[in-house]
Each structure stands twice: as C-alpha cells, then as structure tokens.
Amino acid sequence: MKTAEIRRRFLDFFSTRGHEVVPSAPLLYNDPTLLFVNAGMVPFKPYFTGVEQAPFDRATSVQKCVRTLDIEEVGKTTRHGTFFQMNGNFSFGDYFKAEAISFAWQLVTGTQEAGFLGFDPDKVWVTVLESDDEAAALWRSIAGLGEERIQRRGLLDNYWHMGIPGPGGPCSEIYVDRGSAYGPDGGPVVDEDRFLEIWNLVFMQEELSTVRAKDDFDVLRDLPRKNIDTGMGLERTAYLLQGVDNLYEIDEVFPVIAKAAELSGKTYGANHDDDVRLRVVADHVRSGLMLISDGVSPGNEARGYVLRRLLRRVVRSMRLLGVQEPTFAELFPVSRDAMKASYPELEPGFARISDIAYSEEEAFLHTLTAGTQMFDLAVGQVRGGGSQTLSGAKAFQLHDTYGFPIDLTLEMAAEQGLAVDEAGFRTLMQEQRSRAKADAKAKKGSGVNTEVYTELRALGETPFLGFDTLGAGGTVRGIVVDGELVHSAQPGQEVELILDETPFYPESGGQSGDHGRIFSGDVDLDVYDVQRPVKGLIVHKAKVTSGELRTGLALDAEVDRDWRLGACQAHSATHVIHEALHQILGPTALQAGSFNRPGYMRLDFSWGHGVSDDQRAQIESLSNQAIRADFGVSASLMPLAEAKALGAMALFGEVYGDIVRVVDMGEGWSRELCAGTHVAQTSQVGLLALNAEASVGSGIRRIEAFVGHDAFTQLAKERSLVHGLAETLRVQPDQLADRVAKMVAQLKEAEREIASLKSANLMTLVDPIVSRGHEMWGVDYLSHRADGVGGNDLRTLALAVRDKVAAKPAVVAVVGGTSDKPSIVVVTTAGARDRRLKAGDLVRAGSEALGGRGGGKDDIAQGGGSDGTQAAAALTAVEHAIGHVLQSQ
C-alpha cells in the first residue's frame, strides 16, 4: 500500500467519524520553544493547555515533523529519520479511552478491502501504564486481546507530558509483531525491533503542577475535560504494509536511494557502510526538500543551520560514495516526484526549492575545496614533525572553521596512511556543545516566564481595534513587572500592560509595534513597544510617567498618529517592493522575512544570485511608479481557499486560519495575505529609495530602503554629497564618476611606483646585511631589523639575502612590522637544512620573543607577535636556537 494511500485512508476514516480534517501546519511553526514542529500534537497545543478554545470537538491530521536530535543515527537503524509524518486523531473534551481504542483497533485490523489497514489481529500487541486497569480492560473487551498481549509498563514508557506543568496522562501503545526473523518472542517489553510500535494513544486526564523528570512529577488534579491525543507513525506503518525492512525503503524514500546508487555505481544491500550513506542521502534530501518548501533557507544559526547541516551531510555522503561532482540536480527531482502525491505544492514550488538547494551544494563544494587545501597543509605538517596522526585539534579546526566533515577527514587521512585522533576531536566537539548548551540555558533563563502570559490569555483574547481607530478606551486586565504578575505599578516603573481591548498594533508580520500613550486622570504611560507573546494576547510595553497604575483601572489608549502613518507607509512599501521583485526577477523571488518601521523597510527574499545594478534600478523605478500610480489599497476577510484562488500570496512560515485577511493593491497588482496596517492609497507612501542589497545567507538576499520623508532626506544627503565632491574636484555633477575613476587609476599607478621604489630601496640593504653576517659552527647567521617593513616585502628581503649566500650553509632572519604588530621571517639555505636547521623551528623561537607564534616549512617560515620592542630579542632567540641545534651535533 502506497504511503499516500495510507495517509488518505487514515484521514477518510476519521473524517467519516466526525473529525475535522486539519491541514498540516508548516514545519516552521510559531512556537518559541521549537525549531520545527516535532510532533503531531504541536499545532493543537494551545487547545490542550487551555490557552485557546478549540474550534472543534474532534480533529484529525497528518502533520509534517522534523527531529534532528539523533541525526548521527540516521541510516544506521530502522527507525531514525529526520523528516517524518505523524497521523493523529484528537478529542477536546469529547470522546475518551473507549472510543480512542475502538477507533484504533478498527482502523488497524479492519480489512483493506473495506478501506482499513488490514494488519493481522493476531500480530497486534499493546502496552498500557501499569496502573491503568481501565485501558487494559477496554483492550480486552473491545479488541478481544488476551492478557498475554496486553503488557504493562512504567511511567518512563507509558505516561505522556510536555516536560512542563500542564496536561498529562497515561498512554497505550500499539505494536505489530514482525516475526521471529526480527528478534526473540515475548512482546515489546522483550524486543522493540521485532515488535514495532506504530501508534500511541495518549489519554490526557490530569493536570501536572511540577515536572522534575519524565517519571517524576506531581499531579495537581484531574482535568475538568479529558482529551485524546494520538500519533501513528506514517513511515513505520508504510514499511510494514509495504513489506520492506525499514523506513528508508518505502515508496516515498527509496527512489532517491536508487538514484544515488546509480550515480555512485554502488549496489544497495551489498555493503553496510555504503547502505548507511545511501540512506542518509535519501533521508536528508527528502528533509531538505520539505524544509525549503516550508520556507527554511540554509544559514549559520537555528533552523537555517539545521538545513545547512542536512544538505552538507548529503554532499559528504555522496563524496564518501565516490561522487565528486554536484548531484542535487539529479536527487531532488526524484524526491519531489516521490512526495508530490501527498504534497502537490512541491511541484509548482520546485523552481524556488531547487534554486536554494543547488546554490547551497555549489557553495559547500567550494568549501570542501578550501578545506582540502588546509587538509593537505595539515598532512604536510604532521609528516614534517615525524608523526603519523592528525591531531584532534586540527581535525576540529577543519570541521569548525572550514565545515570539513570528520568522516571525510578520516577517509582522506586513511588514504594518506595517517590516523586521526578521534578521541581528541570528540572531546573538543563535546566542549563546544557544552558551551552552546550553557549559552542557550543562560539566554533561556534571562527570558520572561511565558506562564504569566498563558494565565492572562486564559482570561480572554485581546481584540485589536486599530484597523478602524487610533484611540479607544480599555480596562487594565493585567500588569507584568520583571516577569511577575502584579496588581499595581508606580511612576518610573517599566511595565507590560494588558488591556481588555486595544488600538495598538503588536509587532508581527514584519511590522514594528505601535508607539503612543495610555492615560486617564493622573495616570499616564508612554508606550514604546507592543508585542504578542502568545497568540491572542496583546502586551503593551510602557513606562509609567505619572500616577499609580492598577488592575481594573479604566484608561484611554491613543496611538501616535505619525508613528502609525510611518509604519503603514513602510509596510505598504514592503508589499510594493515584493511585487516589483516578482516582475523584475521572476516569481521565485519570494519573501523570506521582513521588518518595517517608520521611514525604513527591509525585505529578505529567496534568490540564489546577485542582483545587478540594472535590476536594482528597475526594482526601485517600478516601485516608485506603483506609488505614483495611486493604487487603491483595500483589505478584506475571506476563506483561505478563496484567497488562494484569487492568487493571494501566502508567506512561508506563517500559519493561517480558515478565514484570512487579504491586502489588495491596484485591484490585483499586488495581492497578499496580511494582518498588518497599510496606507489607503499607494501615493501615501510618498517616496522609496533603495539603500542596500546584499546576500544574508545561501540563497537569501536582503533589500533595504528608506520610505517617505526619510527617503527624501536620504536623497537630499546624497545630492549634497555629490554637490560637495563636484565643487572640490571642480567638475559638473554628471562628470563626477569619470573624474573619480581617473583619480583612482592615477592613485593605483602611484602606488605601483611607490612599491617599486620601496622594493628597489630594500634591495640596497642586501649587501650590508650579508657583510654583517657571522659564522656559528660552520653556519652563517645573517639578521636585520627592518622597522616598518611587513608582509611580502619582508619575505622578499629575506629571500634576496638568502640568494646571495645560497652556496653556503646559512640562516637569514629579518624582523619588521610595527610596534604593536611585529613580523619575523626566517629562511634557510640547502646547506643549513643539511645541518638540521629548519626555518619553521627557528621562527617559533623568534615569535615567542615577540609575544606570538609562527611556523612554516623547513626552507621558509613566518611568524609574528604583539610586542615590537622585543625585535632585537627575537633575532637573538633565533641565534640561540641555531646554536642549540649545532652544539648537539
């Protein structure tokens, strides 16, 4: 049975039993505690925690999920995958244990001919919490299971909670016996490879007050309304029904394995290590495809880093399989075709997806080239030192600085006949992880307790009135100071204020929060920011300037009109530029993030190439044409399906309800889903002046612009600058570019002449340096202080001196640079090297005297430090090092 068919049967089953079919939320879900959606219940969490009232009594979904905690295990086991799909059915105070168990048994064991999944009832086992006699009795009565196939387990295995105070309850897991070929008999408590879990039924019936560990918590009370949360692993169910051994061999994954095997000339199933690499490729390509589809772009932090790591592991695995050239253009289309039956949006969005993926592969292949050069240098240093082991520190540097995977380092070292200090590498990696965890914990600890907001949200949603008015009355519903709920606040205190309704716009969708005043009688507050920490709750960040603020007080809320107008101008300008990008660059130039405040806007967009000066000028021109066209700007509410049918653009990572707000400019010139505030006519934007355009990550560009009066001010500054330069250079403004270009050319020519003169002057020092040299045990030592001379010039001088004495055993040392950044170069002749004098060893001695370090090859080496006053001491240190070597012979 195809995976898409299992998915369809699951949703149809629960749909015909009164469940609302809820589409999968994007992987980038609006939850500050998660990088990605990692469980089927995540989109329903506000309903389970009581923050929001569920709009339905029962629901079902197939949720896209990503987990990367066990990324190193991918490909090695049957059960570890980064992207997976979780089938779920949910009840919010409606049915409970009996119905959940009955639904699960019917769907799992009902015949395929009747539309069910068709598992053999005699191969189904279940587990229940050891104290849950009710669930055990229901399995006996509903499914007819004997006691031997109902196994009881402790809290670690069969109790669910979120790890924080909130709802929890016992769970019951459904397992399928795969047969004796997969392990010993005795049920899941004996072997969870033979007895594979496919479904977990959570009976959410208790409220926890304290959670110390998975199996250590305090129960406050029974929940007033009991809930059901279940999760069936779609991939696990698929590989059982498709008769394959693991999730990598199902119909949605295996085609990529087959293509990777074809490209590499490998045979799947012939070699364990190759099989693991092929599975990694298939899993990570699918995960990358789905993450990019949902709006993630490769980067160096958080979600972007996870995606980058997955894509780089694909490149690494293909290289370990023997493929050096790019492969994403072969692999990603195969994954798209395997997944599009379940996710048809992949096909129309593939141009954007592939552009981002292919650009990342190209960039990493360049990184690997640079890393290979550093690896070769490291190998030379290891061999030069007489060792056969690449240090853990060097392997870690290759990984951390150059993105060089450790597996590739191990393979290449083996090819060179070298070992790698893996233990040292792992230690450094663990230290890095520990620092990252400590930093994350510190940052987390400095945040405000979200439980306060959850408690306030439970009192009701904060209606936003700001589309229709900038002023309204409201009653103080809550006051938060330093993360704690208080009943009053005094002048001078910073507070977070919650009203029962407000005209203040909270920062969201890229638009900054409003500024303004909240006041009444002798109470006055200056509002400098507005946020929405949890869905449905608007929080005003303000300073009490006079009077005592108290809970229950009636106040007037007044938004700063100039601030709101500026914010509207910037937000509308963002929509205008977004449409201009589509028209100039193409439909794949999609918004990937934005921020706008009065006078300024920036927009990040998916685009794998640089934007030319001509394209930039066209974008700015088209945007200002749209502003001057005085397009009407309207907003209307409509069903999501209707908005999409009208061509309204949805932004990646945003979660939309059934009813959405569509902002239309020019009756379809621009049409986007948007909850922000806008001008009434595009002409109110005034003026738009692009300020910058640059890359902010692989496949992501950022465009910035000044808006309205700020745009005029910026252009006026630029005009004044041009006028001043034109006067200084005594040319007309339209001749300024040519005049500056001519001056730059003249400057470069002058620099070349100066460099030539400096070089010639340096060469006059060669003979005096040679004449001052002295012999030490048959080796000439020639040294010189060249204050102010650095870089290549210092090396040139040292090499020129060596050329003069090349026929003799000789060492040349020169110190230059500045007082705070001195440099030292040491070179040796062949005769000196025959006497075991190595430039790399000698320069280290000199560099230490300068307060630094150095190194290099036997014939030439360079170092530096931080104390140029020790130049003479550095030359003496080199002399002593020479003497030490020669005396020992």
- Residue ranges for the binding site? 571, 575, 674, 678
Distances in whole angstroms, Cα of residue 390 to Cα of each of 226, 405, 413, 428? 59, 14, 8, 14
According to DSSP H, which parts of 550-664 are helical?
Answer: 561-585, 613-628, 640-645
Name the residue among 146, 152, 148, 149 with its Cα closest to residue 133.
152
Helices (DSSP H) in 265-325: which residue ranges? 272-293, 302-320
Place of tokens 């190209």: 362
Listed residue (464, 585, 602, 479) closest to 532, CA to CA: 464
Q: Which CB contacts under 8 angstroms, 24+ apart, belong to 146-150?
A: 148/187, 149/124, 149/125, 149/187, 150/125, 150/126
Both tokens of residue 157? 């295995």
* Buried residues in 842-869 as b, exposed as e (16+ CB within 10 A): bbbbbbbbbebebebebbbbbbbbebbe
Report whether 116 contacts 110 (CB < 8 A): yes
Tokens of 266: 């490998």
Task: Report the DSSP beta bridge partners of residue 543.
Answer: 494, 526
Spatial strand order in the sheet of 633-639: 633-639, 659-665, 670-673
Residue with tokens 């040294």: 783
Phi/psi-derived region of residue 475, left when phi > 0, alpha when psi is between -120 and 50, beta in every other case: beta
User: What are the phi and psi torsion angles at 550 (to 5°)?
Assistant: -135, 150
Q: Do 176 and 196 meet the contact criterion of CB atoms below 8 Å apart?
A: yes
Q: Name the one residue in this structure whose structure tokens are 């010993």.
A: 184
Q: Which residues contact 870 (CB under 8 A, 6 or more apart)?
A: 822, 849, 850, 851
String of b and e for 283-316 (b: at least 16 CB within 10 Å)?
bbbbbbbbbbbbbbbbbeeebbebbbbbbbbbbb
CB of 65 closer than 8 Å to CB of 162: no
- Binding-site residue numbers for Zn(2+) are 571, 575, 674, 678
